[in-house]
Structures are given as structure tokens and as C-alpha cells.
């Protein structure tokens, strides 16, 4: 059994949960914030059988597509806007030594 932890952009979280749920995966969503841009994210937690890890990751990949956004100019008076890529997902797969459903 594996724990799949996906850090997804807030705009993708609901669609990712719906896509995963549609494929029969149970998903827990935790809201989070941080990273380079201090943007809102969601952590999606899935406990999956070893044989279903690639299907779960593929489902997340199909929903979490990259987008480009313009960052507002800095408050130090600089007028430069910066384009950054947002979206996608960062996925961690961890071994679970023991799982109990109570």
C-alpha cells in the first residue's frame, strides 16, 4: 500500500478530486499555502494499492496542467512584471507499513 501526496494549485484541486473520485479513489483534501509564490495550494492524500499508483498519478497529471500568470510589480517601485508558470502538481509516493480502516 502507498500514500500518494499531491500538492496541487488551488484552481486544480476540485477538478483533481472529482477526476480521482470518478475513478474510485478515496481522496482527502487539505488546504495549504506556501512555496516560492506564497500561493494557496491543496494537498491531496490518497491511500492506494501498489498496482494503482500509476493510475492515480496519471489522473492527477491529466487535470493539473501548467498555466502562465503575470506577477504584479514589486512594492519596491520596480515596474517589471514577471511571467511565471503555475499549475502542475508535485507528487510524493510513500510506502505505508500499516493501514487500518476503523
Residue of 100 and 35 predicted with greater confidence? 100
Q: Please report, for the chain, the start and end positions of each structural domain, with discontinuous segments joined by +.
A: 2-95
pLDDT at 6 over 60: yes
Architecture, CATH, for domain 2-95:
2-Layer Sandwich (3.30)
Q: Which residue has the cell 494537498?
A: 43
* Residue entry with cell 506564497: 38
DSSP annotation of 77 reads: S
Query: CA-to-CA distance for 21 and 17, rounded, in angstroms?
Result: 6
- What is the rounded CA–CA span in Å between residue 41 and residue 13? 8
CB-based contacts of 97-100 (< 8 A; 24+ apart in sequence): 99/1, 99/47
The C-alpha cell of 54 is what?
500509476
| Structure confidence by residue, pLDDT tens digits, 37-68 | 566 889 999 999 999 999 999 999 999 987 76
Amino acid at each position: 500500500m502507498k500514500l500518494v501526496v499531491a500538492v496541487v494549485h488551488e484552481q486544480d484541486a476540485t477538478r483533481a478530486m472529482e477526476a480521482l473520485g470518478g475513478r474510485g479513489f478515496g481522496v482527502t483534501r487539505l488546504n495549504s499555502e506556501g512555496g516560492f509564490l506564497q500561493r494557496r495550494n491543496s494537498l491531496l492524500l490518497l491511500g492506494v494499492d501498489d498496482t494503482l499508483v500509476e493510475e492515480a498519478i496519471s489522473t492527477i497529471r491529466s487535470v493539473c496542467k501548467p498555466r502562465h500568470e503575470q506577477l504584479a510589480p514589486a512594492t519596491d517601485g520596480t515596474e517589471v512584471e514577471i511571467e511565471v508558470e503555475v499549475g502542475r502538481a508535485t507528487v510524493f509516493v510513500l510506502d505505508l507499513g500499516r493501514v487500518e480502516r476503523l
